[in-house]
Structure 1
Amino acid sequence: MQPFATVEDLVTLWRPLKGEEATRAPQLLLVVSDSLREEAHKVQKDLDTMVATRPSFATVVKSVTVDVVARTLMTSTEQEPMTQFSEGAMGYSVSGSYLVPGGGLFIKDSELRRLGLKKQRYGVIDFYGEN
């Protein structure tokens, strides 16, 4: 199956790719696209059919694919990149937040919601039963 975005889409929507990123990008696009297909399959939806029938939805799927691939490419393969970092001095204080804790491919819930694959659930639990 074809990925939902191309390397050209990645360059256009994100930024020009550097050496190693250009080699990894085509495979990541395939992996992310198939991961999104599997997420859709879990909720009994066919992402390819939805993309084929609605061009506006195809653009959203492309955007989500590029976002996930870009985030994965920003994740260093040698060390964990930090999105937030602070230092101290004489008190020896250092703290930070990692971009993707644990590394690897990560699809956020907000991205799945954009695709309609995750919805808010609601329900009531009756602890006391009926009388």
Structure 2
Amino acid sequence: MNPFATVDDLTILWRPLKEDEKERARKLLEIVSDSLREEAEKVGRDLDAMIAEKPSYFANVVKSVTVDIVARTLMTSTDQEPMTQTTESALGYSVSGSYLVPGGGLFIKNSELSRLGLKKQRFGVIDFYGND
């Protein structure tokens, strides 16, 4: 199956890629697309069928989500800890920081799944006391 976005889409919607990033981006686009298909399957949906059935704007939403996930993954450093913020001190020996992706690896946010219609709020009632 084809990825939902291309390296050209990534370049247009995010930023120009360096040569060494392009091959990694190609693979990530495939992996992210398949991961989104898997997430859809978990809730009984077929993302490719949804794209075919819905108006053309839905394909752009799927492309946008795919690009967002790949861009976030590409921003994660592969040669050092991916810190977004660090604080250092001297004589008190203090270092602290925030990680870009805690635990590393690829992750898909719930908000991204919601954009695709794969996560919805649920409501219900639990009757603790039963019926008399």
TM-score (norm 1): 0.92
**Counterpart code for 2:15:** R
1:130 corresponds in structure 2 to 131
Bigger mean CA deviation after superposition, 35-44 or 84-93 = 84-93
SS at match of 1:120: coil
The number of residue pairs the alignment matches comes to 131
Counterpart Cα distance in 2 of 1:124 and 1:91? 53
**Counterpart code for 2:96:** S
Output one character per residue of 1:78-100: Cα deviation in whole Å (capped at 9) or x when no partner. Answer: 22211222233443332211111
SS at match of 2:86: strand
Identity between Structure 1 and Structure 2 (%)? 75
**Counterpart code for 1:7:** V
Output one character per residue of 1:6-41: Cα deviation in whole Å (capped at 9) or x when no partner. Answer: 000000000011232112011110110011011111
Work out whether residues 5 and 66 of structure 1, in 8 Å CA contact, stay in contact via their aligned partners in 2. Answer: yes
1:68 matched to 2:73? no
How far does residue 101 in structure 1 lie from its aligned partner after superposition?
1.2
1:105 corresponds in structure 2 to 106
1:120 matched to 2:124? no
SS at match of 1:32: helix
Work out whether residues 5 and 62 of structure 1, in 8 Å CA contact, stay in contact via their aligned partners in 2. Answer: yes
Q: Runs ≥4 in structure 1, deviation > 6 angstroms?
A: none
SS at match of 2:44: coil
Output one character per residue of 1:51-98: Cα deviation in whole Å (capped at 9) or x when no partner. Answer: 123211100000000000011111111222112222334433322111
SS at match of 1:79: coil
1:11 matched to 2:4? no
Q: Which runs of 5+ in 1 are unaligned?
A: none
Bigger mean CA deviation after superposition, 109-118 or 88-97 = 88-97
Q: Which runs of 5+ in 2 are unaligned?
A: none
Work out whether residues 80 and 103 of structure 1, in 8 Å CA contact, stay in contact via their aligned partners in 2. Answer: no
Bigger mean CA deviation after superposition, 98-107 or 82-91 = 82-91
2:23 corresponds in structure 1 to 23
